[in-house]
């Protein structure tokens, strides 16, 4: 067992926020020093490097990890922590996860109440403002991931794939998720699938999309699972069965006003385990990252991790 360190291990994505990371981090460093918060810093060099760095930090006794970046950085750091827990038998409850939000979406912080302001975030961190969040395990064709916020398949995963490609090409705007959604609605075809929640079939037939949520927000503020609670021990799900495209487009506004679960077009509920099987290996996304293909199994493990919260 490594000696437990009191320092914050800060994993910085220098490419987040269209290059704004280092200027924001300079502000954070100054405040951390002034508030006498001990910390160590390291930079990521490639995609998913933060997962490796977080795993290694945990192996060396760090139990407080700070992601400096967007939702992707939070996802990677969380997965590094929980990878270590799986391998070592350490308890997720022993860890604290925080973020200085610099990405383009920053959806995870909308559920935790963290402000999009570096000074305020550092003050919360120094004050020890944390709460528990459920640990959610996701199994796909490519193995195990852990979900901080929201994931899904169908519309959800294809929108994420399109958004990620546009970001890689340097295209960033406030409407990038909405335009990707409208494009996907026009071109995607449904898959024949079955949803099983806590061992009971809740839908079987042609499906356009399945979303699953620990948090409420995704895609820059859309709410596919508007009633999700990060600390209730349950997973919220929402499925969109096949319907006329004009009816789907008519309900798009519900994604933004928090009433999608009231639409007659969707199937929604809460459970501890959810399985999605299908007639084809459609994409699965977790926290905005493509994580593999169907079939999909998601479970709330019963463990908790402490996360920064206002």
Domain boundary, last residue among 95, 128, 161: 128
Identify the weakest region by mean pLDDT among 8-22, 75-89, 90-104, 284-298: 8-22
Classify residue 111: in a domain, yes or no. yes
* Number of other residues whose CB lies within 10 A of the CB of residue 128: 9
* Angle, CA 291 vertex, CA 80 and CA 61 arms, to 5°: 5
pLDDT at position 170 is: 64
Residue that finishes a domain, picked among 74, 101, 128: 128
Is 309 contained in some domain?
no
Tell me the pLDDT of the chain averaged across its residues.
92
pLDDT tens string 258-305: 999 999 999 999 999 999 999 998 999 999 899 999 999 999 999 999
Query: What is Dmax (Cα atoms) for the chain?
Result: 60
pLDDT at 183 over 90: no
Q: Are residues 180 and 106 in the same domain?
A: no
Are 150 and 262 members of one domain? yes
Residue 308 lies in a domain: no
Indicate which CATH number applies to the domain containing 154.
2.60.200.40
Let me know whether 192 and 292 are in one domain: yes
**Measured at the alpha carbon of residue 256, what is the angle toward residues 252 and 260, in degrees to the nearest 5?**
65
298 and 163 in one domain? yes
58: left (phi over 0), alpha (psi -120 to 50) or beta: alpha
Same domain, residue pair 291 and 190: yes
Question: Same domain, yes or no, for 147 and 277?
Answer: yes
Do the Cβ atoms of 230 and 134 come closer than 8 Å? yes
Provide the domain count of the chain.
Answer: 2
Residues 284 and 146 grouped into a single domain: yes
Q: Model-level pTM?
A: 0.93
Q: Please indicate, yes or no, whether residues 100 and 150 belong to a single structural domain of this protein.
A: no
The answer to whether residues 37 and 126 touch, using CB atoms and an 8 Å cutoff, is yes
In this prediction, residue 122 carries a pLDDT of 96
Per the DSSP assignment, residues forming a β-bridge with 240 are 209
Give the domain-ending residue among 109, 128, 147: 128
> What pLDDT digit, counting tens, does each position of 216-271 carry?
999 888 899 999 999 999 999 999 999 988 898 899 899 889 999 999 999 999 99
Please give the residue range of the domain that contains residue 88: 5-128
Q: Note whether 66 and 204 are same-domain residues.
A: no
282: closest CA among 151, 166, 157? 157
Of the pLDDT bands very low, low, confident and very high (cuts 50, 70, 90), residue 64 is very high
Q: How far is CA 252 from CA 74, 92, 209, in A?
A: 27, 37, 13
pLDDT for 172: 63
Based on the fold, state whether residues 192 and 223 are members of the same structural domain.
yes
Q: What is the pLDDT of residue 245?
A: 82
In this structure, is residue 310 part of a structural domain? no
- 174 band by pLDDT with thresholds 50, 70 and 90: low
pLDDT at 82: 98
For residue 134, tell me if it sits in a domain: no
């Amino acid at each position: 067992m490594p000696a437990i360190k009191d320092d914050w291990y800060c994993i910085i994505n220098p490419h987040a926020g269209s290059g704004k990371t280092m200027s924001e981090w300079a502000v954070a460093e100054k405040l951390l020093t002034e508030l006498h918060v001990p910390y160590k810093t390291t930079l990521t060099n490639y995609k998913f490097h933060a997962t490796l760095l977080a795993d290694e930090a945990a192996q060396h006794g760090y139990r407080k990890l700070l992601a400096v970046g967007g939702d992707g950085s939070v996802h990677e750091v969380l997965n590094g922590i929980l990878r270590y827990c799986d391998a070592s038998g350490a308890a997720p409850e022993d860890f604290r996860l925080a973020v200085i939000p610099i990405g383009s979406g920053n959806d995870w912080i909308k559920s935790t109440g963290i402000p999009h302001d570096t000074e305020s975030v550092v003050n919360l961190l120094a004050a020890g403002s944390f709460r528990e969040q459920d640990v959610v395990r996701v199994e796909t064709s490519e193995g195990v991931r852990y979900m901080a916020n929201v994931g899904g398949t169908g519309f959800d995963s294809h929108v994420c794939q399109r958004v990620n490609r546009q970001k890689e090409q340097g295209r960033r705007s406030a409407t990038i998720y909405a335009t990707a959604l409208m494009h996907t609605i026009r071109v995607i075809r449904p898959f024949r699938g079955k949803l099983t929640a806590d061992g009971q079939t809740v839908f079987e037939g042609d499906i356009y999309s399945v979303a699953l949520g620990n948090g409420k927000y995704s895609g820059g503020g859309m709410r596919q699972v508007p009633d999700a609670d990060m600390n209730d021990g349950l997973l919220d799900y929402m499925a969109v069965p096949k319907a006329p495209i004009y009816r789907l487009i008519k309900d798009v506004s519900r994604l933004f006003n928090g009433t999608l679960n009231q639409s007659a077009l969707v199937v929604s509920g809460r459970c501890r385990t959810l399985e999605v099987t299908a007639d084809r290996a459609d994409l699965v996304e977790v926290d905005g990252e493509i994580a593999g293909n169907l079939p999909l199994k998601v479970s709330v493990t019963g463990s908790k991790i402490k996360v920064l919260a206002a």
